[in-house]
Chains A and B, each alone.
Chain A
Amino acid sequence: MRWRNAWIVMRKDLDEFKKQKLVIGSIIAMPIVLGVVLPLVMFVPMVTIVPLERPWDVDGLLEIGALPDDARAPWTNQTMENTSFRSTVISHKILKNTHLNNCIILSCVLDNTTVVDSTIQNSSLSSSFLNNVTVIRSEGTGLDGRYVLAVSSNLAFTKTKPSEIDQVLPLMFNMVLMIFIIIPATLPTIIATYSIVGEKNNRSLEPLLATPTTDGELLAGKIFSAFIPSMASTLLAFTLGVVLLDVVLIPKVAYPLLPNLTWILSILLLAPTACLMSVLACVLVSSKVSDVRAAQQLGGFIVMPVVVLMLGVLSGFIFLSPVMIFVFAGLYGCLDIGLFYFAKAIFNRETILTKWT
């Protein structure tokens, strides 16, 4: 394989591509609409409708308030650790790593304790989880829980369940990310399906095939000439999308969320391998049909492996973690190599030139 020849073929194809203003327009517009405008349409209303204040996230917290001035830390004289109590009255104890269910807790210090269906009075709490608990004249920090009735107490819930926006963002990010994988797999159907059958129909293929260029060089040139604009356009939309999404979301989350590791790995590994797979399949189809429209129709099926991934992600069967991205990128990469050698093996100058049906 003389890469120089592949490079020459690619540059010529790109020169031709540069003259196709409408095609360039659609290649740029499609990623921007799908990868920038559509996500903004999804995120902007969410940011606008969801209140700016982070919601109080302890379900059923009925009251909070300051301790009275005469409140003091409870007196304790015994430490109880790593144990569990049910239907017990506990007073003047230090409870660490315990689980209390249906208890009355009086003048205790609770650390790293789970309290369920209980009442706590005159106690000090830290790093504990409360569920269906009434807290009277007590104080606490680093708490988490739900259905807490706090009476004359000062409780600080620092470890909370995710807010609505926190819950919805990963799902939406995954959806948007899948758009950036679908786009580079779809764009080549516009360019690559034309690559060989287009030249055949224009009758420019015969003199080209009569040059000493090998099948591999010709295919490689055609592949890269479809791959480069597709990926360039995807990267442009990706950059624009990331910046604009951050701009929209920063008021809500206070710091830039994107691009995170998953996004970076996806755009650097998954998108190019998916794009290459699509290009290879389109070029392969283009070398086997005699009509550009037929090539484009068949090209539509080519994005199926990527659609499978998308459906998997959206249905929750597949979570796009960095490891999963490596797995899929590896899979797509292997398919790419296999497709290239398959396309090379079935590339037949005679059939291409003489078959018109």
Chain B
Amino acid sequence: MIVCEGLTKTFGSITAIQDFNIEIPDGRIFGLLGPNGAGKTTTMRMLSCLIQPTAGSAHIDSYEIGKKEDAQKIRGMIGLLPEVPGLYETLGAYKNLDYYAQLYGIPKTQREESIKTTLTNLGLWDRRNEPVGGFSKGMKQKIAIARALIHDPKYIFLDEPTASLDPAAAKMVREYILELKSQGDTILINTHNLSEAERICDTVALVKNRTVKVGSPKELARGLFARTISITMQKIPPSLLKDISSLDFISQAQVNGNQLVLNVRNPEEDNPQVISWLMKQGLQVQFVTEEEHSLEDVYLKLIEEGGR
């Protein structure tokens, strides 16, 4: 489990992150969302024992971030994918992975087998000795992800894991992340890709130099926005909008073509009443759907509010 309490980092007069509080249970995928300069990478670096917190505390299992004697243990438990792949461009993919596997103390036969499997899965086994400098961005990113996972870490920190990947490769990485989760790994992701975060993260924290909001994407949306239903009808009379607005459980109504869009308190209870009311008016209802707010809506609203 990762727990951050009041985690703060300042660089001189600049506060990168302040009073950051999160709790990531084991086996979960946690997303850090926020604009550039929000302190996401700084937070990840603090959790990787690369930089020291200025204030507050963070624990990974029983080990404390910033405590010199715990740093080595923590580094052994985590796998870090930084913003930039940072591969050794003149070396081949095999040597890049082998170097890290050796530093993590993986026995020779095990690392040979593991690297072979990884590179074969990435379709790079035949090109294992080619300098990675000649590879595409996506290829490099895949190798960097493989490098972060080479020692089978319990905690995986991924800074923009799909940033430079094509859609197919990004999908592959997302599926791989979900597979890692199913194996019980705990994953912390920094991302700008909101749809990705929505798809794979159990919990997200919106960050803008502090914790703006933490929750599952759905929880955040529901907490922020009224629930909206969309009713498709054959015909919408002009007076309907005025009449239906008088119902007390409807906070907002509008018409889009042949769709009536209503903000309601609780669709499970309110929908039957709305449909019954419409039928009494002699109108024919074709479809009723609930419109969900995307994480992007949540992000934009919260980050805007958080910036004020």
List the interface of chain A (C-beta within 8 A of B).
5, 8-9, 12, 15-16, 19-20, 202-214, 349-350, 353-354
Contact = CB atoms under 8 A, between A and B. Distances in A.
B87 interface: yes
Contacts of A207: 80-82, 86, 100, 144, 147-148
Contacts of A9: 103
B165 to A, nearest CB: 18
Contact of B103 (A5, A19, A349, A354): A5
A350 B91 contact: no
B45 A353 contact: yes
Contact of A204 (B45, B73, B75, B88): B88
Contact of A354 (B11, B78, B89, B144): B11
Given A206-B86, A208-B86, 19 more contacts: A5-B103, A12-B95, A19-B91, A202-B89, A203-B84, A203-B86, A204-B87, A205-B86, A206-B45, A206-B82, A206-B84, A207-B100, A207-B148, A211-B75, A211-B100, A211-B104, A212-B75, A212-B104, A350-B52
Nearest to B151: A211
A207 B48 CA distance: 10
Given A206-B50, A350-B50, A8 B102 contact: yes
Interface in B22-58: 45, 48-52
- Interface SS, A side: helix
Given A203-B86, A205-B86, A213 B103 contact: yes
A210 B80 CA distance: 7
A210 B99 contact: no
B52 to A, nearest CB: 6
B284 interface: no
A209 B86 contact: no
A7 to B, nearest CB: 9
B215 interface: no
Contacts of B147: 207
A205 B45 CA distance: 13
A353 B103 contact: no
Nearest to A7: B102
Contacts of B144: 207
The contact size tier of chain B is: 20 to 34
Nearest to B104: A211
A349 B102 contact: no
Nearest to B48: A210
Nearest to B16: A354
A202 B91 CA distance: 13
B48 A20 contact: no
Nearest to B46: A350
28 contacts: A8-B99, A12-B91, A12-B95, A15-B95, A19-B91, A19-B131, A20-B90, A202-B89, A203-B84, A204-B86, A205-B86, A206-B45, A206-B84, A206-B86, A207-B80, A207-B82, A207-B144, A207-B148, A208-B86, A209-B50, A210-B48, A210-B75, A211-B100, A211-B104, A350-B51, A350-B52, A353-B45, A354-B11
B15 interface: no
Contact of A206 (B11, B78, B80, B100): B80
B72 A214 contact: yes
B75 A202 contact: no
B303 to A, nearest CB: 24
A26 B185 CA distance: 48
A349 B148 CA distance: 19
Nearest to B72: A212
A8 to B, nearest CB: 5
A195 to B, nearest CB: 13
Nearest to A221: B103
A354 B75 contact: no
A5 B82 CA distance: 22
B215 to A, nearest CB: 29
Contacts of B50: 206, 209-210, 349-350, 353
A211 B103 contact: yes
B82 A349 contact: no
A202 B82 CA distance: 12
B138 interface: no
Contacts of B81: 207
B76 interface: yes
A19 B90 CA distance: 7
A16 B103 contact: no
A219 B103 CA distance: 14
Contacts of B104: 211-212
A354 B89 CA distance: 22
Contact of B76 (A203, A212, A349, A353): A212
Contacts of B86: 202-208
Given A16-B88, A19-B90, A210-B48, A203 B103 contact: no
B131 A354 contact: no
B157 to A, nearest CB: 8
B91 A15 contact: yes
Nearest to B51: A350
Contacts of A213: 103
B50 to A, nearest CB: 5
A202 to B, nearest CB: 7
A213 B99 CA distance: 12
A214 B73 CA distance: 11
User: Which 4 A-B pairs have CB atoms at the shortest separation, nearest pair first?
Assistant: A19-B90, A203-B86, A204-B86, A203-B84
Contacts of A205: 86
A204 to B, nearest CB: 4
Contacts of A16: 88, 90-91
A212 B80 contact: no
Contacts of B49: 210
A209 B75 CA distance: 9
Nearest to B90: A19
Contacts of A211: 75, 100, 103-104
